[in-house]
Amino acid sequence: MNYNSESTAQANFIWGEIVAHTLHELGITQVFFSPGSHSTPLILGLERHENISCIPILDERSAAFLALGFSQRTKQPAVLLCTSGSAVTHWFPAITEASHSGIPLLLLSADRPDELQDCASGQTINQKELFGSFVRGFHQIPHPTIEPSSFHSLQSTLVHAYSQSISLNPGPVHLNFPFPQPFIPTHSPPPYSLSPLLNSKIPTPLAAEEISKINQAVKSFSRPLIIAGEFVPVSVICDWLRKHPVPVLCDSLSSLREATLSGKVLRYENLLRDSMFTNQNQPDLIIVLGPLPTSKTLRNWVDQSGANRIIIEPRGISVDPLASKSQSFSIEFSSLTSVHLPICEEGWFESWKNAEERVEEKLDIAFAERLPFFEGELSHILSQYLPPGSLLQVANSMPIRDIEWFWSGSNKDRKIFGNRGVNGIDGTLGTALGLAHKAENPTFLLTGELAFLHDSNALLFQNQLVGNLTIFLINNQGGGIFEHLPIADQPEFEKCFATPQDCDFSKLCQAHGIEFIRPQNWDEIINLIEIPIKSGIRVIEIKTDRKKDKETRKRLLALDPST
């Protein structure tokens, strides 16, 4: 296709301005972009907007996880922007996580015009529908023109994409922009006007009928149990259970761990491994709020319990991986206060509460010995000494399990985050940095060395970080989680599964100008927790023995609720 060079450049330029103006009107403030030529119109429009912050990130993969972490904290979509070709494919790991975790993102990819597709043009791949079902919507943007009707159409598409990203099932939305060259006009574009944005309303489900069905389904039981996933609001649960308390098993990322709730149960890993306790405390009703916690012990016990199971998930998606029968309902968690819980039989609530307290006392005694650099003790100490209101990102594999098993609850309102959508180690560091960026509270990361190395490119964000991140780097020379699997006894284990790495983390930090500390004892670590840095990144390496830690975990998780 033949384009008039000046009119093409002017159309490209105006569309970049319209994108920036519209996103600002929608409340977007943060853009993470990776440099490239074909995204020039979008970069210029966004960078020149006085109320939008644009941060260049060399690596598209790191940029995507930074955006994910930022949106995870703010609950509003950040914008990701990159050029055409293979660049956009580097977003994929973060997009799968955002999709499964329900984190809103707006993905703006530049593309080559239609005539350069499928003809071996450089930096050109088929970007249409690239992310398939992992995005909440895909929008192929037409070639820019200076027709006023096209301005309105572009605005409408952006508003719709934003609405899709923050819908009842939030997640990433992809917009693909083909830009023919040239990108920068020689003369100022003609003046143009834009229509006011129409309010984008998110549809809410009609809950009355669903609540009536739930009330009918739960009314005849006397041993109810609640399992609270990571997204359940504290205020709703506390209001719901104020009159009729029920035992609540709390996910490792649940805000209920940091709230005043007399019936919260954090030590379910110990309780459910004790056959005497499970035989005496068999529920007849289990209400699951959102996705199940990661614990295999819990999942197997629920599956085999024979209890009637009610699943409540506002997003209208399936979050039940178990084989046993269940009923699923889609209502917002704010409607839970209209659900009438059955009255517990005498002693049911107290049995769980007392067992929880007995295991907690035994763990406190065990940890008071100050076990020599045991990974699980770090999780316990973090729960005791992290400042109120802190943010903690937790890596997958062993760190998230140690939080689940050894974190002591409080009412200090700390927020725990993790990439539990697809449970990978991808982007651990980048997500934590995105979480920390512009956060008002001290931010921490608990990670193993493999997850840290997997995402070490994210350290390039050091000089652009507005905020602070303290990283507790557990170096156990390999993948500690595999020690808990049958493969650990096989001769191929160290090479093929544990995969220990030879890295001097002090030199890696030095290369990036990042503070590095290797503490010698728990008191030094506690001091570093209580007095975090005010800005920048600090890495604290703690060397542990994963084989000894496996045995220590086994011993601590065998502590039973008996007197």
Is the pLDDT at 374 greater than 80? The verdict is: yes
| CA end-to-end distance (rounded Å), the chain | 82
What pLDDT was estimated at residue 127?
A: 87
Is the pLDDT at 249 greater than 80? The verdict is: yes
Helix (H, G, I), strand (E, B) or coil at 175: strand
What pLDDT was estimated at residue 298?
A: 97
Locus of tokens 């309010």: 199
Is the pLDDT at 200 greater than 70? The verdict is: no
Number of Cβ atoms within 10 Å of the Cβ of 208: 11
- Give the full edge-to-edge strand order of the sheet including 248-250: 264-265, 248-250, 224-228, 285-289, 308-312, 327-329
The model's pLDDT over 497-521, given as tens digits with 9 standing for 90+, comes to: 878 888 999 999 999 999 999 999 9
Average pLDDT on 375-383 reads 96
Identity of residue 467: G
Average pLDDT on 201-214 reads 76
C-alpha–C-alpha distance, residues 483 and 544, integer Å: 14
Is the pLDDT at 269 greater than 80? The verdict is: yes
What pLDDT was estimated at residue 527?
A: 96
Structural contact between residues 98 and 105, judged by C-beta atoms closer than 8 angstroms: yes
Q: What is residue 405's DSSP assignment?
A: H
Average pLDDT, the chain: 93
DSSP string computed for 74-129: HSS-EEEEE-SGGGGGGGHHHHHHHHHHT--EEEEEEE--GGGTTS--TT----TT
Tell which wins on pLDDT, 369 or 453.
453
**Cα-based angle 66, 69, 70 (whole degrees, multiple of 5):** 85
Structure tokens at 369: 């010995």
- List, in order, residues 6 or more apart from 54 with CB less than 8 Å away: 31, 33, 43, 46, 47
C-alpha–C-alpha distance, residues 485 and 213, integer Å: 42
Is the pLDDT at 101 greater than 70? The verdict is: yes
- List, in order, residues 6 or more apart from 382 with CB less than 8 Å away: 392, 407, 444, 446, 472, 529
What percent of the chain shows pLDDT beyond 90? 81
What pLDDT was estimated at residue 202?
A: 54
C-alpha–C-alpha distance, residues 336 and 287, integer Å: 11
Band of residue 557 on the pLDDT scale cut at 50, 70, 90: very high
The conformational region for residue 66 under phi > 0 = left, psi -120 to 50 = alpha, else beta, is alpha
Identity of residue 255: S
Task: Let me know if 306 is exposed, middle or buried by CB neighbors in 10 A (0-12, 13-18, 19+).
Answer: exposed
Helix (H, G, I), strand (E, B) or coil at 157: helix
- List, in order, residues 6 or more apart from 264 with CB less than 8 Å away: 248, 250, 256, 257, 356, 409
The model's pLDDT over 152-173, given as tens digits with 9 standing for 90+, comes to: 999 999 999 999 999 999 999 9
Helix (H, G, I), strand (E, B) or coil at 223: coil
C-alpha–C-alpha distance, residues 313 and 292, integer Å: 11
The model's pLDDT over 399-452, given as tens digits with 9 standing for 90+, comes to: 999 999 999 999 999 999 999 999 889 999 999 999 999 999 999 999 999 999
What pLDDT was estimated at residue 563?
A: 76
Q: What is residue 27's DSSP assignment?
A: T
Number of Cβ atoms within 10 Å of the Cβ of 91: 28
What pLDDT was estimated at residue 382?
A: 97
Number of Cβ atoms within 10 Å of the Cβ of 532: 17
**Cα-based angle 61, 67, 68 (whole degrees, multiple of 5):** 90
The model's pLDDT over 24-49, given as tens digits with 9 standing for 90+, comes to: 999 999 999 999 999 999 999 999 99
What pLDDT was estimated at residue 196?
A: 83
Task: Let me know if 486 is exposed, middle or buried by CB neighbors in 10 A (0-12, 13-18, 19+).
Answer: exposed
